[in-house]
């Protein structure tokens, strides 16, 4: 049985593979890789059309996902949490907000932010803290609902509208593009989570 040889990437292809994974923008990756072309979109399409370049990107994506413990089941589970969270679960029978350590995992995963406002009465030396106003904000469920609906074949049949806004463009995402989108969304989610946790709000 013949062993399939992996084609060695050129210097430009190696740079493109690395740059492409930063934001999944092919044209920008071409420019950051050092190309002076006036048509970076064309070059990006040519590079992504090369099987060995696509394989190199996919291999690195899979390795990164493996290292951080991300797999399809975990991603779909988190998407389900974002899409189907029932905020009523974080309130007690008395209508008061439960402490975060008592929130169910599925709802806690869908929380985008918490705001806590102190309420006072009186003025001067008579001014006293009387309570708190707490606001809980969930992530917008629509992106997760749409993606899951497409995954289940409920809508779209795997069709994807290009992000340039062209009304007549629709195509089926490749496995590589789906993986790329997932990694990019996970990256954004991690960054946003860090921004939220870096705030000074408390309960």
Distance, CA of 63 to CA of 57 (rounded, Å):
10
For the cut 50, the answer to whether the pLDDT of residue 165 exceeds it is no
Give me the pLDDT at residue 126, please. 87
Higher-confidence position of 107 and 150? 107
pTM: 0.42
Q: Which CATH class is domain 11-67?
A: mainly alpha
CB atoms within 10 A of CB 188: 10
Structure tokens at 3: 């062993």
For residue range 84-141, list pLDDT tens digits in order.
Answer: 888 889 899 988 889 889 998 888 888 888 888 888 898 888 888 888 888 888 888 8
In the chain, which segments carry CATH 1.10.10.1400? 11-67
Q: How far apart are CA 95 and CA 93, in angstroms?
A: 5
Q: Long-range CB contacts (< 8 A, 24+ apart) of 97-102? A: 97/134, 97/136, 97/203, 99/203, 100/203
């Amino acid at each position: 049985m013949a062993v399939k040889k992996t084609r060695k990437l050129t210097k430009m292809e190696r740079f493109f593979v690395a740059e492409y994974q930063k934001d999944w923008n092919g044209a920008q990756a071409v420019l950051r890789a050092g190309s002076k072309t006036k048509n970076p979109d064309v070059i990006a399409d040519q590079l992504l059309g090369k099987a060995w370049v696509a394989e190199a990107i996919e291999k690195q994506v899979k390795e990164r996902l493996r290292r951080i413990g991300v797999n399809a089941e975990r991603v779909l589970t988190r998407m389900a949490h974002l899409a189907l969270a029932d905020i009523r679960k974080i309130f007690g029978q008395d209508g008061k907000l439960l402490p975060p350590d008592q929130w169910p995992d599925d709802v806690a995963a869908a929380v985008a932010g918490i705001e806590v406002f102190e309420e006072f009465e009186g003025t001067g030396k008579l001014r006293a803290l009387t309570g708190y106003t707490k606001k809980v904000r969930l992530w917008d469920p629509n992106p997760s609902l749409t993606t899951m609906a497409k995954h289940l074949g409920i809508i779209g049949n795997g069709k994807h509208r290009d992000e340039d806004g062209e009304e007549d463009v629709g195509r089926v995402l490749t496995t590589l593009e789906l993986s790329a989108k997932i990694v990019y969304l996970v990256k954004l989610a991690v960054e946003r989570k860090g921004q939220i946790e870096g705030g000074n709000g408390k309960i």
